[in-house]
């Protein structure tokens, strides 16, 4: 595939750049990004940013036009991701809705569900979280224990979810629960579009080692969902779950552009830091490290392009998203670990004491451990690659 950009694609890039310059908060592109003081202001700011993206037609460019997207081409998606990474655009508060729930509903949901939910996902009016992981059902989702019991046209749901991203700001949850017990654990699971704003739902924060609050525990005590809020068929939720996970892992692969930028920033840091009045980059060992990181990050990028090409031909992402997810998350963690080591004793400093009073490297290093877990652990990705791409025998222990 030819990855040079056509004049039309460069026009698309310039259109996006211009919009970002006009709509990002003042000083953002120059590096002044502290536009909120606490979690509440952050949530309000990110909802506002989502509304701006929606109004400008930039919230979900790959979506079909009938759902509010631009039907962007593969190359336009690449341009979009590159430009967003370049300006370190604010996080997408409705990431789960845009990249996972919306595409899954378009593929599997009823017409009523599409009309009810999709536009509000795009505008950020309803923020979504994902209710998959439980204390005893993380990578093995077939072990889910949260129960849903039929009561007329309602389902009474009890159980606990954990590691729920955006749960503290979410209006809705794409939730899985056990509705029946069969010999095969994969059967008897149903997907619900749960209203988070009800008495039976309680959210508690999980504070990470970087001091941030991205994840939550969610307790379900006689929470209620309705027949109209079921995606797919009762007891046949595994197919729906796998569809959403394919979209999730495909989206995670897009972090390859962040990895590329972080490598470039790491090179710049090795030029700025001195050892015996010489740039660290002049040290042969540092240069060897940079060459190794460049080679593998470039390989990740090209592999991502290859998998995107296959996605374009098939019309939906496949198991190859696991390759992107595994490569990018593991290499990101390694690159950020190297960035801390290269700084020497300054690498253990944090917040205002870090280099240039900015703990960018430290914050991202601590966060990177979660990237190898969220969306399916590295071990699960290896199983998926082995079984679904390489055709190796299945793990008989599962």
Q: Which pTM does this prediction carry?
A: 0.84
Report the alpha-carbon distance of residue 141 to residue 325 in Å, rounded.
Answer: 18
Regarding whether 266 and 228 lie in a shared domain, the answer is: no
**123 part of a folded domain:** no
Please identify which of the residues 126, 134, 229, 248 carries the catalytic annotation.
248
Complete DSSP assignment for 184-244: STTSSEEEEEEESSSTTEEEEEE--TTS---EEEEEEEEEEEEGGGEES-TTBHHHHHHHH
**Alpha-helical regions (H) of 87-134:** 95-96, 102-108, 111-123
Regarding whether 382 and 264 lie in a shared domain, the answer is yes
Q: Can you give the residue range of the structural domain that contains 357?
A: 254-389
pLDDT tens digits, the chain, 398 residues: what are they? Answer: 556 788 999 999 999 999 999 999 999 998 888 778 777 788 899 999 999 999 999 999 989 999 999 999 878 888 998 999 999 999 889 999 998 999 999 999 999 999 999 999 999 999 999 999 999 887 778 899 999 999 999 999 999 999 998 899 999 999 999 999 988 888 999 999 999 999 999 999 998 888 888 889 999 999 999 999 999 999 999 999 888 876 665 555 568 899 999 999 999 999 999 999 999 999 999 999 999 999 999 999 888 888 877 776 776 667 788 888 899 999 999 999 999 999 999 898 887 788 766 788 999 999 999 888 877 788 888 988 999 889 999 876 55
Residue 304 is assigned to a structural domain of this protein? yes
The answer to whether residues 194 and 157 belong to one domain is yes
Both 385 and 258 in one domain: the answer is yes
Catalytic: 248?
yes
CATH no. for residue 34? 1.10.540
- Distance in angstroms (rounded) separating the CA atoms of residues 375 and 112: 28
The helix (H) or strand (E) run that includes residue 365 is helix 360-371
Helices (H), 254-283: 256-272
């Amino acid at each position: 595939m030819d990855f040079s950009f056509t004049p039309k694609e460069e026009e698309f890039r310039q259109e996006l750049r211009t919009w970002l310059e006009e709509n990002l908060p003042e000083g953002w592109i120059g590096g002044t990004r502290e536009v909120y003081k606490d979690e509440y202001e952050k949530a309000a700011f990110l909802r506002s940013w989502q509304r701006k993206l929606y109004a400008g037609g930039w919230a979900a460019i790959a979506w079909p036009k009938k759902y509010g997207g631009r039907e962007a081409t593969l190359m336009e998606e690449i341009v979009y991701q590159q430009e967003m990474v370049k300006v370190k655009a604010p996080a997408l508060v409705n990431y789960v809705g845009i990249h996972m729930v919306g595409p899954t509903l378009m593929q599997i949901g009823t017409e009523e569900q599409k009309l009810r939910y999709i536009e509000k996902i795009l505008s950020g009016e309803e923020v979504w979280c994902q209710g998959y992981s439980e204390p005893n059902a993380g990578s093995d989702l077939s072990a889910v224990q949260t129960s849903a019991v039929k009561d007329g046209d309602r389902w009474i749901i009890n159980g606990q979810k954990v590691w729920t991203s955006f749960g503290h700001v979410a209006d809705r949850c794409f939730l899985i629960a056990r509705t029946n017990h069969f010999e095969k654990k994969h059967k008897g699971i149903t997907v619900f579009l749960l209203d988070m704003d009800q008495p039976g739902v309680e959210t508690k924060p999980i504070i990470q080692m970087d001091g941030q609050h991205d994840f939550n525990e969610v307790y379900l005590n006689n929470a209620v969902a309705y027949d109209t809020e079921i995606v797919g068929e009762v007891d046949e939720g595994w197919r729906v779950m796998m569809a959403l996970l394919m979209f999730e892992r495909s989206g995670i692969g897009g972090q390859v552009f962040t990895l590329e930028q972080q490598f470039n920033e790491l090179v710049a840091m090795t030029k700025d830091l001195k050892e015996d009045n010489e740039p660290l980059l002049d040290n042969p060992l540092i240069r060897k490290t940079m060459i190794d990181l460049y080679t593998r990050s470039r390989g990740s990028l090209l592999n991502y392009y290859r998998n995107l090409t296959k996605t374009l031909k098939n019309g939906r992402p496949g198991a190859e998203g696991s390759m992107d997810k595994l490569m990018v998350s593991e290499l990101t963690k390694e690159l950020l670990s190297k960035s801390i080591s290269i700084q020497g004793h300054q690498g253990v400093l944090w917040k205002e004491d870090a280099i240039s009073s900015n703990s960018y490297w430290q914050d991202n290093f601590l966060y990177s451990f979660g990237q190898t877990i969220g969306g399916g652990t590295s071990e699960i990705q290896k199983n998926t690659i082995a079984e679904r791409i390489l055709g190796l025998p299945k793990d008989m222990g599962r």
